[in-house]
């Protein structure tokens, strides 16, 4: 029986609510497909601060290191907003986790079912068949981690802050390799997004992507686009992209834009794959919903569990090689949602169901 050994970091506010439901779905498919589950829960984010004085406690890191993957909920919220920026749950938990496990490849599917086009702020005629694109974001380089990163007082008394955008060719090559794999699994189309008209890092980015694709995947249709144009094109005609790959900060911004045009954050999952392999020889990864902790609806039992459930599917696919089970979960979510089960965020005034009922519908579809 394949063993699914993973860490459960539910986090704050709706994090634990949707995690409970995602685990319920996983238990169901595990029984159907003969998988053994072995998971350990650990505190992260605000829960880490409250219970251990740290957003990413050492004990939590240990639990993650002993696992083959991390199933992550979401962290942060008003309760910890008064802390200094560096101690905020988002920054003090997520970023160190990414760095610690070298989770350099962030895969964010932008998926909007045709039946849900009303949920998108884009006009229906721009997306008659919904949206189906993928953002590949470099996650451990660029402005987020480059040194120097500091705020100093200058001799003249003025204050100056600096972040450093830095990329090595090897970092660009490995994210390009991830993008190639993603493009090959779809339409053999890849768009690389940069700012090569201004930034040195982007000049290296474009050259490296071009050379790497020419050498390793000449069959791909590779295009390049400046990031400002890409932001505009995403709003104009998102499906002109199939897979796009970009550096850390550009990907942060474009993936939020992608999320909003896809209607609800409650439907989008993501995978952050590491450079290292797990005990099965597959990428160690962190899997999380795209939305945040949604403090305004926490505790009401109305949060959309789909993104967390779809994150389970991504975990089974990438870190455990269980493509069939992953695809079954994705199909069940689609069936439940397009069949009329809608949480409030995707109901558009029609009757809505709560977190548990939504999950029940997905389990029934399985």
Instruction: Give catalytic status of residue 82 as yes or no.
Output: no
Residue appearing with tokens 């558009």:
348
Query: From CA 174, how far away is CA 16, in angstroms rounded?
Result: 33
Sequence-separated contacts (24+) of 34-39 with Cβ below 8 Å: 34/1, 34/2, 35/1, 35/2, 35/3, 35/4, 35/322, 35/325, 36/1, 36/2, 36/3, 36/4, 37/4, 38/3, 38/4, 38/5, 38/6, 39/4, 39/5, 39/6, 39/7, 39/8, 39/67, 39/71
Check binding of 100 to ligand IPM (CB under 6 A): no
The footprint of Mg ion on this chain (CB under 5 A) covers a number of residues equal to 1
Instruction: Give catalytic status of residue 33 as yes or no.
Output: no
Give me the residues paired with residue 162 across strands.
Answer: 150
Strand 3-11 with 36-41, pairing: parallel
For residue 347, the partner it binds in Mg ion, ligand IPM, none, with Cβ less than 5 to 8 A by kind, is none
Instruction: Give catalytic status of residue 68 as yes or no.
Output: no
- Measured from each CB, the residue nearest to Mg ion is 252
Catalytic residue among 256, 335, 356, 360, which? 256
The one segment of 87-95, 153-161, 207-215, 236-244 that binds ligand IPM by CB under 6 A: 87-95
Query: From CA 327, how far away is CA 360, in angstroms rounded?
Result: 18
252 or 257: CB nearest Mg ion: 252
* Binds ligand IPM (CB under 6 A): choice among 115, 252, 257, 360: 252
Cis peptide before 148 (omega within 30 of 0): yes
Output the smallest distance, CB 75 to ligand IPM, in A. Answer: 8
Token pair recorded at residue 30: 């595990």
For residue 12, the partner it binds in Mg ion, ligand IPM, none, with Cβ less than 5 to 8 A by kind, is none
DSSP, res 81: T
173 or 256: CB nearest Mg ion: 256
Output the smallest distance, CB 366 to ligand IPM, in A. Answer: 29
Check binding of 257 to Mg ion (CB under 5 A): no
Check binding of 252 to Mg ion (CB under 5 A): yes
106 or 341: CB nearest Mg ion: 106
C-alpha triplet 99, 134, 247: angle, nearest 5°: 40
Query: From CA 120, how far away is CA 114, in angstroms rounded?
Result: 10
Catalytic residue among 50, 228, 237, 296, which? 228
For residue 242, the partner it binds in Mg ion, ligand IPM, none, with Cβ less than 5 to 8 A by kind, is none
* Binds ligand IPM (CB under 6 A): choice among 24, 52, 91, 126: 91
- Note the residue count of the chain: 366
130 or 251: CB nearest ligand IPM: 251
Catalytic residue among 33, 163, 242, 252, which? 252
For residue 94, the partner it binds in ligand IPM, Mg ion, none, with Cβ less than 5 to 8 A by kind, is ligand IPM
- Measured from each CB, the residue nearest to ligand IPM is 90
Catalytic residue among 195, 212, 287, 318, which? 195
In terms of Cα–Cα distance, which of 66, 141, 136, 145 is closest to 105?
136
Give the residues lining the site for Mg ion (CB under 5 A): 252
Give the residues lining the site for ligand IPM (CB under 6 A): 90-91, 94-95, 252
Active site residues: 144, 195, 228, 252, 256
């Amino acid at each position: 029986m394949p063993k699914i050994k993973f860490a459960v970091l539910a986090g704050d506010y709706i994090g634990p609510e949707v995690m409970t439901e995602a685990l319920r779905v996983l238990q169901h498919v595990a029984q159907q497909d003969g998988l053994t589950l072995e998971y350990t829960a650990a505190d992260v984010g605000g829960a880490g601060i409250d219970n251990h004085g740290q957003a990413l406690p050492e004990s939590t890191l240990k639990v993650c290191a002993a696992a083959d993957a991390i199933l992550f909920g979401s962290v942060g919220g008003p309760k910890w907003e008064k802390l200094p920026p560096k101690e905020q749950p988002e920054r003090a938990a997520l970023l160190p986790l990414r760095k610690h496990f070298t989770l350099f490849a962030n895969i964010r599917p932008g998926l909007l079912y045709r039946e849900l086009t009303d949920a998108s702020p884009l006009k229906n005629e721009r997306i008659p068949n919904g949206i189906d694109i993928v953002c590949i974001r470099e996650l451990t380089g660029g402005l987020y981690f480059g040194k120097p990163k500091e705020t100093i007082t200058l001799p003249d008394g003025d204050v100056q802050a600096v972040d450093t955008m830095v990329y090595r060719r090897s970092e660009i090559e490995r994210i390009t390799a991830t993008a190639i794999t993603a493009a090959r699994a779809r339409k053999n189309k890849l768009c690389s997004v940069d700012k090569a008209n201004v930034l040195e890092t982007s000049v290296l980015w474009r050259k490296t992507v071009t050379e790497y694709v020419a050498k390793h995947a000449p069959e791909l249709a590779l295009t390049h686009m400046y990031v400002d144009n890409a932001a505009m094109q995403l709003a104009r005609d998102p499906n002109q992209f199939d897979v796009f790959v970009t550096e850390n900060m550009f990907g942060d911004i474009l993936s939020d834009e992608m999320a909003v045009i896809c209607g609800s954050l409650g439907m989008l999952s993501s995978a952050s794959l590491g450079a290292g392999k797990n005990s099965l020889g597959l990428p160690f990864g962190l899997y999380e919903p795209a939305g945040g902790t949604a403090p305004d609806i926490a505790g009401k039992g109305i949060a959309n569990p789909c993104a967390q459930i779809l994150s389970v599917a991504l975990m089974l696919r990438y870190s455990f090689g269980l493509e069939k089970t992953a695809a079954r979960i994705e199909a069940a979510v689609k069936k439940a949602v397009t069949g009329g089960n809608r949480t409030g965020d995707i109901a558009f005034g029609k009757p809505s169901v709560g977190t548990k009922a939504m999950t029940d519908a997905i389990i029934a579809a399985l």
